[in-house]
Amino acid sequence: MRSLDSTGATELQEPGPSQLLPDDVLPDPHEEPAAAEVAGAPGPGRCSLCRSLPCGWCSERAKKKAPCPGLGLFYTLLSAFLFSVGSMFVKKVQDIHAVEISAFRCVFQMLVIIPCLIYRKTGFIGPKGQRMFLILRGTLGSAAMILLYYAFQATSLADATVITFSSPVFTSLFAWIFLKEKYSLWDALFTLFTITGVILIVRPPFLFGSNPERMEGSYSVHLKGTFAAIGHAVLAALTLVILKKMGKSVDYFLSIWYYVILGLVECVIILSILGEWSLPFCGLDRLFLILIGLFGLGGQVFLTKAIQIEKAGLVAIMKTMDVVFAFIFQIIFFNDVPTWWTVGGALCVVASSIGAAIRKWCQSSK
């Protein structure tokens, strides 16, 4: 989720539109560095592995199977669908606190990550110079997940999903502050569009009168959910800046390991303070908790596959289908028709996200 973790990026990285990796992440397997010639690379026409004339075995091994056209976009669409279904289950589980749902998800992901770390032999601590960044990534990422789940419970599914899509705007701003990346007038324009969209969704009384249109629950609860969604967007953006700072020096699964461990610790501490810890009594709620973990993990897997075989800009644009699915599920399963204010706000936020994704795509392709 931009939601389920759209944290996920921030967990198994639940990224937002501008949080995706650039198109040149994976090196070309056929690219031969110039240094290889100096080191005595085989002459033209010779096999680079056995240093003889081309052999059938090496030629077949060197071939790269081209992915099916449109498969990456299909994976992205499927990922958006799975994240939205997981978000819907979070909304359905109203008798369990959002922090407790986060704790169950951390436990579920931990059971998946531990075998992966053992298989990859990366260890459980990480490089000495990166441990502070790993701790920050885990702490902020898990806090973003908790806020996201609270937003789903406190306000409508569509409102929470749309607001979380403002994360790319904060990512550009924090990258400018902490990583000294360029912040252009286009970025400022996208920020203005996003703020406008959020205002249309929140509909503060001092702008829209003291009697806002009908919304789910009381206005105070709706406001708390809105601030939680904004908090998620901010923390998710900070998490992505930290991940970019670490680069490829830290294994991907190790980053997730810190996320689930510190997230579980956070959840236990918060639940102990609030006194909200309780096992679900209803069998349906237990099923929902399992499905939240399964759909969240499935969404991350398909999103990762999409990034590997498709251009990041196209994946970012297709990722906005999260919002479409959120509106559909809200109408069908919760009988809650969004207001025109919400639709207008969604258009502003989504337009901002798509614009940021297209601009980043054009910059990376130059």
3-state secondary structure at position 270: helix
Helix axes 157-164, 321-334, angle to 10 degrees: 170
Question: How many Cβ atoms are within 10 Å of 66's Cβ, its own excluded?
Answer: 7
- Where the chain has pLDDT below 50, the residues are 1-4, 6, 8-42, 48-49, 51-54, 57-64, 212, 214, 216
What does the alpha-carbon distance between residue 30 and residue 28 come to, in Å, rounded to a whole number? 5
Q: Give the gyration radius of the chain's Cα atoms.
A: 22
Give 42-72 as a 3 state SS string: CCCCCCCCCCCCCCHHHHHHHCCCCCCCCHH
Residue 187 φ/ψ, nearest 5 degrees:
-60, -40
pLDDT at 1: 44
pLDDT at 59: 47
Beta bridge partners of residue 8, listed in sequence order: 10
Please tell me the pTM assigned to this model.
0.74
- Nearest CA-CA partner of 122 in 8, 251, 315: 251
pLDDT at 135: 93
Alpha helix (H) residue ranges in 93-202 = 98-120, 131-154, 157-164, 167-178, 185-202
Query: Between vectors from CA 64 to CA 39 and to CA 60, what angle results, nearest 5°?
Result: 75
pLDDT at 84: 92
pLDDT at 14: 42
What does the alpha-carbon distance between residue 107 and residue 87 come to, in Å, rounded to a whole number? 18
Beta bridge partners of residue 10, listed in sequence order: 8
pLDDT at 231: 95
- Give pLDDT tens digits for 270-289: 999 988 777 777 778 888 88
Written as six digits, the tokens of 45 are 């026409």
